[in-house]
């Protein structure tokens, strides 16, 4: 149930994975309420290109996407990031981000001491951490904000760390669980020495729960047809395998049938399907609403809140825009003041044609601006025209020069990013243990990380859990 990338990945694993179907392969059915598969991974034509409406790339050092791409025979579609670095809007100007950042947390004192994007007080806080670190008494978990603010002060926390991590999670570091989002930070803080020194040996760190089998090599990949082409190819090959894919069909009820041949019946408006097992790759509150009566641990999934965001994409003639000399984008701290009403809505700017070769053209530039966080839903109350106009006004301030766009596109993603708050790991573990007793597995970005690799891995693990459970009960 749920035809996003997690649900499709689960169906791929159930239908044989890399080896493909055989005589023992079960009948697999995917039910998706919306009209298309892929969730937030989708592409559209724009300015003579195909662009993504959601994630435009994925972490290359996690193997889940690359493995699936290889199994689908799409390895020739992989494309590496061709630029690096980013800039921070701070103190009324653009500043190139210093080196040695681990998810925004500085690890190189020299870099911070020479970084003009923060005040001397912030630099002094970094120097103090390197030479006279503050002690922090931690329990099983803590918020990212509590750790970084105690160790490095408020300015570095909210001007460097929050724009980086908050941009990934669409949340606030004072609410996000270090154990679930940044476990390496929690480990480093428990050493009770310098936080910067403890994180330095780790180098690149991936957000979200701990990942296994990390590889070296490029940091990010995309697909030449866009990341949204992945679920399209996956759905096509699943159909070729005989998997039943039903879109535009909402599940109305999940009913246990202890006395029947199958433990479950899945109801839609017009059908009832018997099932040995069910994988729920839906938002966590939907799981809680459907099955919460079975166990309080499942019901508590309703507590997982989500944040929404919107992306405004622009195409401009090259002589209408002046950009930074390097880098792939800009981070904007929350509550950044400017001459307009309220604080800035834009949280980040991504230079798409600088990142990916297949989007680069000689005559124009394609970039996108991100708005929205867990505590900033102003965009949700505004019309498309008002959001676009506001974003343009802010880009005129953020960029050296921003002229008249040739094309614009606004994509809204309400409630698309689950918030991993304190106690998230325990809540998920308990819900999964309770669900497994009823031949139900949970998959999706509410559990194992919000990125594309984590979502694919979550779906495939759920499928393996179901295969093991149904095999042992056969």
Tell me the pLDDT tens digit for each residue of 299-322: 999 999 999 999 999 999 999 999
Backbone angles phi, psi at 316, to 5 degrees: -130, 145
Cα–Cα distance for residue pair 184/198, rounded to 1 Å: 9
pLDDT tens-digit series, residues 76-133: 999 999 998 999 999 999 999 999 999 999 999 999 999 999 999 999 999 999 999 9
For the segment 126-182, what is each residue's pLDDT rounded down to a tens digit? 999 999 999 998 989 999 999 999 999 999 999 999 999 988 899 999 999 999 999
Average confidence score pLDDT of the chain: 94
Q: What are 346-389's pLDDT values in tens digits?
A: 999 999 999 999 999 999 999 999 999 999 999 999 999 999 99
Instruction: State the pTM of this model.
Output: 0.94
Q: What sign has the CA pseudo-torsion 228, 231, 237, 239?
A: negative
Mean pLDDT of 285-301: 96
C-alpha–C-alpha distance, residues 284 and 382, integer Å: 27
Decide if pLDDT at 261 tops 90: no
Distance between CA atoms of 372 and 304, rounded to whole angstroms? 18
Determine whether 216 is exposed, middle or buried from the number of CB atoms within 10 Å of its CB (0-12, 13-18, 19+).
exposed
The pLDDT assigned to 212 comes to 60
Judged against a pLDDT cut of 60, whether residue 17 lies above it is answered with yes
SS in 3 state form for 89-136? Answer: EECCEEEECCCCEECCEECCHHHHHCCCCCCHHHHHHHHHHHHCCCCC
- Domains (range + CATH), the chain: 5-41+57-79+223-304+420-473 (3.50.50.60), 102-202 (1.10.3110.10), 306-418 (3.90.660.20)
| Residue 16 near residue 463 (C-beta atoms within 8 A) | no
Residue 447 DSSP SS3? coil
d(CA 212, CA 116): 37
- What sign does the dihedral 425-426-429-431 (CA atoms) show? negative
Look up tokens 């750790």; give the residue.
Answer: 147
C-alpha radius of gyration, the chain, whole number? 23
pLDDT value, residue 211: 61
Residue of 340 and 205 predicted with greater confidence = 340
pLDDT at 218: 66
**CA pair distance 16, 118, nearest whole angstrom:** 53
Strand 272-275: give its sheet, edge to edge.
251-256, 264-268, 272-275
């Amino acid at each position: 149930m749920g035809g996003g990338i997690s649900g499709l990945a689960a169906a791929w694993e159930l239908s044989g994975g890399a080896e493909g179907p055989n005589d023992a392969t079960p009948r697999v059915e995917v039910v998706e309420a919306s009209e298309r598969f892929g969730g937030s991974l989708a592409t559209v034509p724009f300015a003579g290109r195909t662009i993504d409406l959601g994630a435009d790339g994925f972490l290359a050092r996690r193997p889940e996407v690359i493995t699936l791409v290889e199994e689908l025979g799409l390895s020739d579609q992989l494309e590496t990031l061709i630029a690096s670095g980013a800039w921070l809007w701070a103190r009324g100007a653009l500043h190139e981000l210093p080196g040695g950042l681990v998810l925004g947390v500085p690890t190189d004192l020299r870099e911070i001491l020479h970084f003009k994007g923060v005040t001397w007080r912030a630099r002094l806080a970094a120097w103090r951490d390197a030479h006279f670190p503050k002690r922090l008494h931690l329990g099983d978990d803590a918020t990212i904000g509590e750790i970084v603010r105690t160790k490095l002060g408020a300015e570095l926390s909210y001007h460097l760390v929050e724009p980086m991590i908050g941009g990934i999670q669409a949340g606030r570091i004072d609410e996000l669980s270090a154990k679930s989002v940044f476990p390496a930070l929690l480990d480093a803080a428990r050493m009770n020495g310098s936080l910067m020194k403890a994180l330095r040996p780790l180098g690149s760190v991936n957000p979200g729960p701990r990942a296994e089998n990390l590889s070296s090599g490029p940091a990010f990949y995309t697909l030449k047809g866009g990341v949204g082409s992945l679920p399209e190819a996956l759905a096509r090959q699943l159909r070729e395998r005989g998997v039943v894919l039903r879109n535009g069909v909402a599940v109305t009820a999940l009913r246990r049938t202890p006395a029947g041949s199958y433990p479950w019946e899945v109801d839609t408006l017009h059908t009832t399907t018997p099932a040995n097992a069910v994988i729920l790759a839906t938002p966590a509150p939907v799981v809680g609403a459907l099955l919460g009566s079975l166990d309080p641990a499942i019901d508590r999934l309703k507590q997982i809140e989500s944040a929404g965001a919107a992306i405004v994409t622009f195409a401009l003639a090259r002589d209408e825009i002046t950009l930074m000399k390097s880098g792939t984008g800009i981070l904007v701290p929350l509550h950044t003041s400017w001459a307009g009403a309220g604080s800035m809505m834009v949280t980040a700017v991504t230079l798409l044609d600088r990142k990916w070769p297949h989007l680069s053209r000689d005559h124009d530039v394609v970039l996108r601006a991100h708005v929205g966080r867990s505590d900033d839903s102003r965009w949700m109350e505004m019309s498309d025209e008002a959001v676009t106009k506001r974003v343009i006004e802010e880009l005129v301030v953020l960029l050296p020069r921003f002229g008249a766009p040739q094309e614009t596109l606004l994509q809204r993603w309400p409630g698309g990013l689950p918030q991993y708050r304190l106690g998230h790991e325990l809540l998920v573990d308990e819900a999964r243990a309770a669900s497994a007793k009823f031949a139900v597995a949970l998959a999706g970005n509410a559990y194992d990380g919000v990125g594309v690799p984590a979502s694919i891995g979550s779906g495939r693990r759920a499928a393996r859990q179901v295969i093991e459970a149904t095999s042992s009960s056969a």
